[in-house]
Structures are given as structure tokens and as C-alpha cells.
């Protein structure tokens, strides 16, 4: 089902800002309607200011691909550390050639062997690149 993949930053949410980037945790989510409406609902229960960083058209499946791709940055649930690689991918709209080629290879390989192993390889590959 098509909708929107959204990226919401919880401004000031990180206690440890030792990397000095000043960014808050980032939620990667999916909504079949207006992501701004989703942000408004979330803001009611969040003590931090929420800011919509970007949206891209996409499905629930594509949202899960984002989660898999950046699993090594996952803090909890759908919230991720604001790493430079994640921020660059958000601004590129996740349409980079390198990512698509690697994603297709992982999907092919996952059919041939254990899915957990494919996830571990993806995390290791992301750390090296």
C-alpha cells in the first residue's frame, strides 16, 4: 500500500551529544495519509519538539527496508541515532544507486540463506563503507 515514509526528529532528545552534531533522535515511520498529521498526533505525547525532516513516497515494505538498512543506528523501536549517513540518505530520498544494488543483492541472498545472517552482513557492510 502506497503512502509516505516520514522522518521526524525529536529535537534535543539526545542526552549524550558527544559527536557534537546537536541532532535529536530520528523516527523513521510510515503513514498512508499526511505525515504532518502524524507528527501533530505524536507531539501531544512527546516532551521534545518534533520536526518533520522529510517525506518520500513509499510503502510499509520500503519503510522496513529503511529500518533494516540503518538497524545499527536503532535506539528503540522506530527511533534511530542521527548519524551523518542516515541524514544523507534522508536528503537523497533513499534512491541512491549504491543502496539499490546492495539491497537487491541482499534480497537475493536472503532467499538462499538465513535472513538473520543477511541482516548481520548488511550492518557490517554499512560500518565498513
Transcribe 24-90 into DSSP letters: PPEEEEEESS-HHHHHHHHHHT-SSEEEEEEEEEEEHHHHHHHHHHTGGGEEETTEE---HHHHHHH
Please check whether residues 82 and 102 belong to one and the same domain.
no
Please check whether residues 101 and 57 belong to one and the same domain.
no
Please check whether residues 35 and 65 belong to one and the same domain.
yes
Q: Higher pLDDT residue, 2 or 29?
A: 29
Q: Higher pLDDT residue, 84 or 113?
A: 84
Q: Higher pLDDT residue, 39 or 119?
A: 39
Please check whether residues 64 and 108 belong to one and the same domain.
no
Q: How confident is the model at residue 48 (pLDDT cuts 50, 70, 90)?
A: confident
Please check whether residues 10 and 54 belong to one and the same domain.
yes
Domain tally, the chain: 2
> How much is the pLDDT for 97?
46
Domain ranges, residue 123: 96-129
pLDDT digits (tens, 9 = 90+) for 50-93: 998 888 888 888 899 999 999 999 999 999 999 889 998 898 87
Please check whether residues 63 and 81 belong to one and the same domain.
yes
**What's the half-sphere exposure (Cβ side, CA atoms, 13 Å) at 128?**
6
Tell me the C-alpha distance between 10 and 49, whole Å: 6
Please check whether residues 113 and 73 belong to one and the same domain.
no
Tell me the pLDDT of the chain averaged across its residues: 80
Amino acid at each position: 500500500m502506497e503512502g509516505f515514509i516520514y522522518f521526524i526528529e525529536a529535537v534535543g532528545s539526545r542526552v549524550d551529544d558527544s559527536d557534537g552534531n546537536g541532532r535529536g533522535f530520528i523516527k523513521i515511520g510510515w503513514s498512508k495519509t499526511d505525515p504532518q498529521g502524524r507528527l501533530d498526533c505524536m507531539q501531544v505525547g512527546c516532551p521534545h519538539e518534533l520536526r518533520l525532516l522529510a517525506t518520500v513516497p513509499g510503502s510499509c515494505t520500503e519503510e522496513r527496508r529503511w529500518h533494516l538498512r540503518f538497524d545499527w543506528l536503532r535506539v528503540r523501536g522506530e527511533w534511530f541515532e542521527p548519524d551523518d549517513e542516515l541524514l544523507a540518505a534522508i536528503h537523497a530520498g533513499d534512491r541512491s544507486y549504491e543502496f539499490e544494488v546492495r539491497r537487491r543483492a541482499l534480497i537475493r541472498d536472503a532467499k538462499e540463506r538465513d535472513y538473520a545472517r543477511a541482516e548481520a552482513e548488511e550492518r557490517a557492510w554499512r560500518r565498513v563503507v
